[in-house]
Amino acid sequence: MTTKQKERLLKSFFKSKTKEYGLIDWQLFNVDSPRDSYAHCLPACKLIFIENESIRILNISSLQDIVLHEIAHGIAGQKAKHGKEFRKVCKQIGCKGNRANNNYECYELRGKFPHQL
């Protein structure tokens, strides 16, 4: 599957899940990020960022789980971090809830400019 195909599937998945869980007006951006993570959620801004390199190298199942992980942050709120409430939300929405899932491959992060999916 090409990166563009994965981006389209991920965007559709994101829209479906944010609607399903009542996250209104949320946006998904793909970024080249200096952060050492696959994705990041800013609940107060209703934004989720996913690293371009992860889209390129990971399978769609892993990417969907990453998006669910970030949606769980949106539902649980910033103060929940990766604690008990966050893990509870992860279970409820079908996310593995792992901060660093062993199924995700490691890679080097670079760059810094966001591009909306």
Q: Residue 47: which CATH number?
A: 3.30.2010.10
Q: Return all residues near 38 (Cβ < 8 A) that are at least 6 apart.
A: 50, 51, 54, 58, 66, 104
Averages of pLDDT over runs of 10 residues in the chain (117 residues) are 95 97 95 80 93 92 94 93 92 75 37 46
Per-residue pLDDT at 34: 65
Per the structure, the count of domains in the chain is 1
Per-residue pLDDT at 4: 95
Per-residue pLDDT at 113: 38
H or E segment and range at residue 116: strand 114-116
pTM of the predicted model over 0.85: no
Q: Give the domain extent around 94.
A: 3-116
3 state SS of 24: coil
